[in-house]
Amino acid sequence: MAQKTAKRHKSVWLRNLLSGDHEAFAEFVEEYKEQVFLCSRTLGLKDDEVEDVASETFLAAYKGIRGYRGQAELGTWLWRIAYCQAVNYLRKNQRKHQLLIEPDEQLADDRAGQISAGLENKEQAEFVWRAVEQLPRLWAVAVVLFYREEKSVSEIAKIMKKRKNTVKTYLFRGRERLKELIGPALGDYIDDGK
């Protein structure tokens, strides 16, 4: 019964959101702001830049919400907007080269050597996500979307405007690089399928 009520509430909320209701949009921002921040941080933006991109993202979402047709999940739709806004921000601020350098040419942070033994599960997860931040930006975005946001390869391809095979390559290379970075500290924690 509670599940049915929650589903009905979400349906009403979505209808209100699509009709331009300001309260529904405020709830939308509250619900998805962390995802937008995560997207921007994954692309290497600093905190003040993240705030700027988030503002631009939600402004673009507000302007375009009436065009949302439900072909993708709302979160996937917003991730694409956030991704595009972050890439545009990087281009406008002369940091385009960070995205266009071939992933094999990008160097990992010096933090790669900060490996500690005896990590607990929560610490392991935090350690892994810190390691993901050291990946080349496009790989990191694919890994975050796939593992943290649980998006499909098809959804990621749409968000990143890349081919599915390219996304699969980013995921494969990202996993391989993570094994190199954290394998010694975590042993078999990361494998090819997880």
CATH code assigned at 45: 1.10.1740.10
Residues 73-87: what's their mean pLDDT? 90
Count of domains forming the chain: 2
Residues 6+ apart with CB under 8 A from 87: 43, 99
Task: Give the highest mean pLDDT range of 147-156, 162-171, 178-187.
Answer: 162-171
Task: Please tell me the predicted confidence (pLDDT) of residue 47.
Answer: 86
Q: Say yes or no to pLDDT of 89 above 50.
A: yes
- The alpha carbon of residue 1 and the mean position of all alpha carbons in its chain are separated, in whole angstroms, by 33
Structural domain range at position 33: 1-100
Do 116 and 96 belong together in one domain?
Answer: no
Q: Say yes or no to pLDDT of 184 above 50.
A: yes
Residues 6+ apart with CB under 8 A from 174: 132, 135, 139, 140, 142, 143
Q: Say yes or no to pLDDT of 13 above 50.
A: yes
The single-letter code of the amino acid at 113 is: G
Half-sphere exposure of 38 (CA within 13 A, CB side): 19
Task: Please tell me the predicted confidence (pLDDT) of residue 164.
Answer: 94
Do 117 and 176 belong together in one domain?
Answer: yes
Residues 13-21: what's their mean pLDDT? 81
Do 109 and 174 belong together in one domain?
Answer: yes
Of 47, 74, 100, the domain-final residue? 100
User: Is the Cβ–Cβ distance between 134 and 42 less than 8 Å?
Assistant: no
Instruction: Work out the pLDDT band at 112, boundaries 50, 70, 90.
Output: very low
CATH code assigned at 156: 1.10.10.10
The single-letter code of the amino acid at 104 is: D
Of 85, 100, 115, the domain-final residue? 100
Do 36 and 78 belong together in one domain?
Answer: yes
Residues 169-189: what's their mean pLDDT? 80
- State the residue for tokens 């595009």: 84
Task: Please tell me the predicted confidence (pLDDT) of residue 186.
Answer: 60
Do 64 and 93 belong together in one domain?
Answer: yes
Residues 85-105: what's their mean pLDDT? 63
Task: Please tell me the predicted confidence (pLDDT) of residue 94.
Answer: 62
CA pair distance 97, 180, nearest whole angstrom? 25
Determine what percent of the chain is predicted with pLDDT higher than 70.
74
Of 47, 75, 100, the domain-final residue? 100
